[in-house]
Amino acid sequence: MDKSVHQELTTYHDPCNYARKSERTFGHGYYEEPRWVLQQCCENFVEMYPNRANNFCCGGGGGAWASPYTEERIFYGRVKAKQIKDTGAKLLIAPCHNCRDQIMKSLRKEYDFMDVEVKYLWELVADSLIIEPREE
């Protein structure tokens, strides 16, 4: 992994399904694993508050991203937007399609933080990889 690719201050959004709901359903919440992966790629990491089991939903989950209640979805996201902005991070890792879309495509614009880049966790890994091409 090449940590020099992502030098900016980076924060992490716990998706409900990876975190709280996995803990409830499977007896194990995936809180630390994604943070470990993230910190193999980024040197400068900051937590948002609250986090892990008490993290706030992005507002796009449970089908809300595909639902017609746009105004309510954006209103919901105000809490998430504040959490992100309060960290001062310039890169946000959101390892869930719904969360990433809600934050990247909607909340950034609605709550004025277009300067924060949003990536999937696996996008962060892919962009940090030093790949040695295989011989055919």
Partner 1 sequence: MEPLLLSKRERRKLASQYAELCLTCGTCAGGCPVTGVDGLDVRKVVRLAVLGLDQEIIDSKFPWVCTMCGRCEHACPMNIDLLKLLRSARAMRDRDKVPGVLHKGVEMCLKTGNNVGIPEEDFKFLLEDLGAELAEELPGFEVPVDKKGAKYLFTINSKEPFAEPEDMMFWWRILYAAGESWTVASKNWEGVNWGLFTGDDEAMKEIVGRLVQNYKELECEYLVLPE
Residues contributing to the site for partner 1 (CB under 8 A): 16, 20-21, 24, 53-64, 66-69, 72-73, 75-80, 95-98, 101, 120, 122-123, 125-127, 129, 131-136
Whose Cβ is closer to partner 1: residue 78's or residue 85's? 78
For β-strands 91-93 and 117-119, DSSP reports them as: parallel
Judge whether 3 and 43 are in contact, CB under 8 Å. Answer: yes
CB of 38 to partner 1, least distance (A): 14
Residues near 134 by Cβ (< 8 Å), separated by ≥ 6? Answer: none
Whose Cβ is closer to partner 1: residue 42's or residue 77's? 77
Judge whether 58 and 14 are in contact, CB under 8 Å. Answer: no
Measured CA to CA, the distance from residue 116 to residue 119 in angstroms comes to: 10
CB of 72 to partner 1, least distance (A): 4
Judge whether 104 and 84 are in contact, CB under 8 Å. Answer: no
CB of 66 to partner 1, least distance (A): 6
Whose Cβ is closer to partner 1: residue 46's or residue 79's? 79
